[in-house]
Structure 1
Amino acid sequence: METAQSRQQAAPGAFTAFARFVFCGGGVGLASSFAVAALASWVPWALANALVTAVSTLLATELHARFTFGAGGRATWRQHAQSAGSAAAAYAVTCVAMLVLHQLVAAPGAVLEQVVYLSASALAGVARFAVLRLVVFARNRSQAAATVGVARPVDATVARAATPAAPGVLCRAA
């Protein structure tokens, strides 16, 4: 039977992880830009962007868990939630970029909209990479979370040192 430890892959280096992030996240992002453009012809752009962002975030988080950061399996609910937080920030960046574009240019063409959208997405993507690598899929956090709740024996000297000197004393001078 395969255990979580044996299934876990070695964490890739920063350059490898970034290359994988660009490939996976960039591929999903590029497909998303076309999906937003197509969907925006039927619904308001902000709604189209929100729907596509939600779906693409779920897909990208799974790809990042399995491939980009070498987490060794499916993304956890915690990772999905944290990834969604960074995606919400990216959504805000793309919405602001598009809002600014429409304030500056009365009727921007589809190519200009794509350039602005993809540029804002790329900027947000670099920030998302840092958050995902350093927080969401960080090795020490996932290993620490896996060991929470595991009972370990406490050495008698450690237990004695942790006991307050007198009842009612909350702090001691060191």
Structure 2
Amino acid sequence: METAQRNERRAPGAAAAFARFVLCGGGVGVASSFAVAAVADRLPWALANALVTVVSTLLATELHARFTFGAGGRASWSQHAQSAGSAAAAYVVTCLAMAGLRYLVDAPGAVLEQAVYLTASALTGVARFAVLRLVTFARGRAEADRAKAPVATRPVPAAPVGTAALCPAA
């Protein structure tokens, strides 16, 4: 029993969850930025960003369900759908940022493109953290917390005098 209680996962607090979000989501984001650059050599940038966004969102949502928010397992389809909605907003912001860069700079270098892309991703990442923590994984956290809460027990009434022989202790 004691070992089982020690092995239970508790939902992390906001600071720990944000640190995990940055580690998991940021790691996927950095890998995605390199993937977008590589795929954009073969496809239009917006399409490359869309493909990489889909794959990275699926991966990041699984990581967030398992590690970041302590949901206790794999992400549900509903959580994937909600995460996809916030990722779609992030996609729009990164596309607008890159379009703005290309409008302002005729031939931006790879380093400048990476800086703009990662900055836009970081800003949308903060917003995504709030949505994922407060909406997407809040229900799973609440259910996990209820499951871990001690169960209230009612006291068993004492047997009337003289009935102890009828109900011997096991």
TM-score of the aligned structures, taking structure 2 as reference length: 0.78
Structure 2 counterpart SS, 1:70:
coil
Measured after TM superposition, the shift of residue 10 of structure 1 is 1.4
Secondary structure at 2:108 match in 1: coil
Q: Give the counterpart letter for 1:24 in structure 2.
A: C
- Which amino acid counterpart does residue 39 of structure 1 have in structure 2? V
Q: 1:51 to 1:8 in 2, by over 3 A?
A: farther
* 1:69-108 Cα shifts (integer Å, max 9, x gaps): 0000000000000000000000000000000000000000
Q: Which residue of 2 aligns with 1:99?
A: 99
Shift of 1:8: 6.7
Q: Is 1:53 paired with 2:53?
A: yes
How far residue 110 of structure 1 moved from its aligned partner, in angstroms, is 0.4
Give the SS at the match of 1:107: coil
Higher relative contact order (CA 8 A, sep 6+): 2
Q: Percent identity?
A: 79
* Number of corresponding residues: 139
The structure with more radius of gyration? 2
Q: 1:140 to 1:73 in 2, by over 3 A?
A: closer
Corresponding residue number in structure 2 for 1:43? 43
Q: 2:26 — aligned with what? A: 26
Q: Where do 4+ consecutive residues of structure 1 move more than 6 Å?
A: none
Show structure 1 runs of 5+ residues with no match: 1-6, 145-174
CA RMSD of aligned residues (A): 1.8
8 A contact 1:8–1:73 mirrored in 2: no
5+ unaligned residues in a row in structure 2: which ranges?
Answer: 1-6, 145-170
* 1:148 aligned residue: none
